[in-house]
Copies of this chain bind each other. A is one copy, B any other.
Amino acid sequence: MSEKRTEIGEIGEFGLIDRLNEKIVIKHETTLKGVGDDAAVIACGEGKVKVVTTDLLMEGVHFDLSYAPLTHLGFKAVAVNVSDVAAMNAIPKHITVSIGISNRFSVEAVEALYAGINAAAEHYDVDVVGGDTTTSRAGLAISITAIGEAMEDQVVYRSGAKENDIICVTGDLGGAVVGLQVLEREKQVFMANPNMKPDLEKYTLVTARQLKPDARMDIIHELRDLEVVPTSMMDISDGLASELFHICKASKVGVTIYEDKLPIDQQTYSTAVELNLDPITCVLNGGEDYELLFTIKQEDFQKLEKHPDIHFIGHVTKEEEGKFLVTKSQTAVALKAQGWKHF
């Protein structure tokens, strides 16, 4: 080994992943897609594929047990993987669950975690088929792998967006990050004075968005019923702007989106203002919304036009036209994919 020491911070998490991915060699024809999308795609014969995705959640990084109830955490750990399967336009069927637990957890605590995992398995109609339960010297670690099914010609990648396609998002955005700020604030209040009862009632919606997100399998089933196959799709885990950058890079296109089309819930908006956060920044860079971002051909617009939970936020442009947000005052500003962590 070389003696050189490069800090991960110097090249960033995405830089590290790029460097690691460069060395991967694909040998099997059945590997239709390896790293670089929401899930891998493996051919199974007869035009059928399995999609595979995995997530590792670490205590103190992805969750804080001082405000995340274990049952919600179990549900969320499954939901975020289901969301990645959904983002490939596939149907999740099987998951494996590995947990690393320290001896500060009781049997009842582990059962509470699994109650959430099982509730999510029921909700998303997936079977828990395996896993690993092991000791951890430090915090809780949860690793889930989800396997979904689709026909090869139904799979939607990040790379299929074309000029003039319409950009759609489901639900509303920014709630999860605003909910996190509320939970962090109440935790600070509680730590300063343990007799203070956290005041969370008026923030129910945003805290639920953070603690118990729902993967949009409903939309995937509806798209099938309406015979709409998106041209590209991702789930919104790192923030709308960041995901749009991924689609632009993979599809070699540009995008123009409109501020007045961005879906934001009233409670998200008012809570953001209360917390001195810019609501539009929360929508663009908040992350953890687990809504779907997808593009459709113009001719499919009519089929979705009246859908109450799909919003049309802009359109795909030529790559050289760049990536822009048109503000309410009709000014086009360059989109930035800064993500939340750099704030």
A93 interface residue (CB < 8 Å to B): yes
**B50 x A141 contact (CB < 8 A):** no
Chain B residues closer than 8 Å to A122, beta-carbon distance: 25
Min C-beta distance of A268 to chain B, whole Å? 26
Specify the chain B residue showing the minimal Cβ separation from A93: B28
A17 interface residue (CB < 8 Å to B): yes
- Besides A24-B128, A26-B129, 6 more A-B contacts (Cβ < 8 Å) are A27-B126, A31-B94, A52-B96, A52-B147, A57-B134, A100-B141
Min C-beta distance of A126 to chain B, whole Å? 8
Given A19-B107, A23-B118: A137 in contact with B50 (beta carbons within 8 A): no
A331 to B115: give the CA distance in the assembly, Å.
49
Min C-beta distance of A232 to chain B, whole Å? 18
Q: How many copies of this chain sit in the oligomeric assembly?
A: 2
Chain B residues closer than 8 Å to A98, beta-carbon distance: 54-56, 143
A241 to B177: give the CA distance in the assembly, Å.
51
Specify the chain B residue showing the minimal Cβ separation from A145: B145
Q: Mark A31-70, 1 if CB is under 8 A from B, else 0.
A: 1011100011010111010101111111111100000000
A296 interface residue (CB < 8 Å to B): no
Given A6-B107, A145-B145: A40 in contact with B129 (beta carbons within 8 A): yes
**B54 x A105 contact (CB < 8 A):** no
Count residues of chain A with CB under 8 A from any CB of chain B.
84
**B132 x A2 contact (CB < 8 A):** no
**A131-163 CB contacts (< 8 Å) to partner B:** 131-139, 141, 143, 145, 147
**B28 x A110 contact (CB < 8 A):** no
A129 to B105: give the CA distance in the assembly, Å.
33
A141 to B143: give the CA distance in the assembly, Å.
10
**A45 x B42 contact (CB < 8 A):** no
Specify the chain B residue showing the minimal Cβ separation from A103: B8
**A56 x B141 contact (CB < 8 A):** yes
Chain B residues closer than 8 Å to A16, beta-carbon distance: 107, 110, 133
A209 to B273: give the CA distance in the assembly, Å.
60
Chain B residues closer than 8 Å to A305, beta-carbon distance: none
Specify the chain B residue showing the minimal Cβ separation from A13: B133
**B56 x A132 contact (CB < 8 A):** yes
Given A1-B108, A138-B137: A48 in contact with B45 (beta carbons within 8 A): yes
A30 interface residue (CB < 8 Å to B): yes
A98 to B101: give the CA distance in the assembly, Å.
17
**A131 x B54 contact (CB < 8 A):** yes
A330 interface residue (CB < 8 Å to B): no
**B94 x A145 contact (CB < 8 A):** no
